[in-house]
Structure 1
Amino acid sequence: MTRMTAKDFPQELLELYDYYAHGRITKREFLDRAAKFAVGGVTAAAILASLSPNYALATQVEATDPDISAEYITYPSPKGNGDVRGYLVRPQNAAGKVAAVVVVHENRGLNPYIEDVARRVAKAGFIALAPDGLTSVGGYPGNDEKGRELQQKVDPEKLMNDFFAAVEYLMKSDLTTGKVGIVGFCYGGGVANAAAVAYPELAAAVPFYGRQPRAEDVPKIKAPLLLHYAGLDKGVNEGWPAYEAALKSAGKTYEAYIYSDVNHGFHNDTTPRYDEAAAKLAWQRTVDWFTKYLA
């Protein structure tokens, strides 16, 4: 299967898809505006399909990998939606308790890409818990378009609390050392930032292209932050200068990387926006960060 890359599409079209993927325009609006790029017998619908996730490309760590053990669990979320389904992945041969990482999905539920990220976390030696924020509306429906629609129906505060509950669950779990980090992507990057504000005991946070907290909340952050941004991601990046100024002013521990000439979602290896070099570098930095601060 040939993998298409961002270089196969005009940047204007990639940005248009980003608007659609984040719910800023409807599918019909995307198709109407993408029509001008439909040449040579290619339809706007075909363009949308080529930009959308292809989960046949998603697996880097198989669920049957002998180094890990994966299962679905339910954990309590008393301030959220009650009980939340999550994908729990453990290193198979860990000697004793190990540190843990919450893996937070994008704006579409617990899809195969995020499950694979959880397995990558476990492969690196940590317990991973990837909650499904769509549990209260029936769970991830099997495709991202419907997943986006469902996530918009979930109460935002309760949804955030469902992810916060995962942090608390791992901190108290008999399986872990009590040291917990968090990594999130897109919407999940915003959750990672929010968790750093909400939990001074959080050991580390790694937001990928996530919305930033309010400057006045930054002094509450105690967790070391590793922040990944895409150079072409205008919408998210516009909040970075104020966030960085607040982090510096408050004397917080952080490292930030802006990966030039890559798009929002560059770590997601199921779409053409994936950039292999940037994704691999960002992931190695992420593993190194957790290894340093969750020890």
Structure 2
Amino acid sequence: MDIMLFHSVHGPRPAVHDAADRLRAAGHRVHVPDLFDGQTAETVEEGRALKDKIGKEELLRRAVLAAAPYSERGLLYAGFSLGGSVAQTLALGDTKARGLLLLHGTSDIAENASVDELPVQLHVADPDPFESHDWLTAWYLRMRQTGADVEIYRYPGAGHLYTDPGLPDYDEPAAEETWRIALAFIASL
């Protein structure tokens, strides 16, 4: 399966490439676009400054351009935090999307969004400073209204980007459980 994997606000860090290698080892073709032109951020604040400097519209334009050569085959869109937001936006706009894997992040949903039983899996810390319980409940209900088939996995006590071993949020047991479940999800598609 072709997977379009988007990085977090920290940029294309080693953990993103390690995740892509993990997916490739499971037999998938993984594409990792660099939405930040090679820049990385050590902190969320630095990453947000990079994101804001580039701008939301430009980030989405770059993501669409990266996905376009592969979208005819039917992509699984995936992303970490900010990258999850980008992946969600693209998946909801792509009638050939095969699935959506969200790690640590979601996004607003357009009023006219509609999909035909799109498989969606979300992995998120519990609690998560960027994905409150109220937000996730509303997001889940809205995603279901679009026609998505949604599963949410919560990881108590984990930090926001708990799958990145280079960040303070890292939680190895939660990360390994996430990858076990995510790989099974992808295999089921």
TM-score class normalised by the smaller sequence? 0.7 to 0.9
Matched, 1:288 2:173: no
Amino acid at match of 2:136: W
- CA–CA separation in structure 1 for the residues paired with 2:146 and 2:83: 24
Shift of 1:217: 4.3
Count of residue pairs brought into register by the alignment: 186
Match of 1:194 in 2: 89
Aligned-partner SS, 1:169 = coil
Instruction: Return the match for 1:129 from 17, 31, 40.
Output: 31
Instruction: Return the match for 2:129 from 223, 231, 234.
Output: 234
- CA–CA separation in structure 2 for the residues paired with 1:224 and 1:211: 15
Match of 1:144 in 2: 42
Post-superposition Cα deviations, 1:21-71, rounded to whole Å, max 9, x if no partner, equal xxxxxxxxxxxxxxxxxxxxxxxxxxxxxxxxxxxxxxxxxxxxxxxxxxx
Give the greater-gyration-radius structure (CA).
1
- Identity across the alignment (%): 24
Shift of 1:260: 1.4
- CA–CA separation in structure 1 for the residues paired with 2:136 and 2:152: 10
Instruction: Say whether the 8 Å CA contact 2:77–2:88 is kept in structure 1.
Output: no
- CA–CA separation in structure 2 for the residues paired with 1:285 and 1:169: 28
Q: In structure 2, do the counterparts of structure 1 residues 270 and 280 end up closer, same or farther at CA, with 3 Å as the change threshold?
A: same
Post-superposition Cα deviations, 1:134-186, rounded to whole Å, max 9, x if no partner, equal 22xxx226x535962433311211211211222222235xxxxx131121011
Shift of 1:200: 2.0
Matched, 1:167 2:85: no
- CA–CA separation in structure 2 for the residues paired with 1:156 and 1:221: 27
Post-superposition Cα deviations, 1:248-280, rounded to whole Å, max 9, x if no partner, equal 344431211111121211111112311111111
Q: In structure 2, do the counterparts of structure 1 residues 168 and 232 end up closer, same or farther at CA, with 3 Å as the change threshold?
A: same
Post-superposition Cα deviations, 1:187-234, rounded to whole Å, max 9, x if no partner, equal 011112112211121101101121332262443465210011110203
Q: In structure 2, do the counterparts of structure 1 residues 235 and 155 end up closer, same or farther at CA, with 3 Å as the change threshold?
A: closer
- CA–CA separation in structure 2 for the residues paired with 1:188 and 1:113: 13
What 5-or-longer segments of structure 2 have no aligned partner? none
Amino acid at match of 2:39: Y
Q: In structure 2, do the counterparts of structure 1 residues 147 and 127 end up closer, same or farther at CA, with 3 Å as the change threshold?
A: farther
Matched, 1:153 2:42: no
Aligned-partner SS, 2:96 = coil
Instruction: Return the match for 1:244 from 140, 146, 151.
Output: 140
- CA–CA separation in structure 2 for the residues paired with 1:197 and 1:251: 10
Higher alpha-carbon deviation: 272-281 or 235-244: 235-244
Amino acid at match of 2:21: R
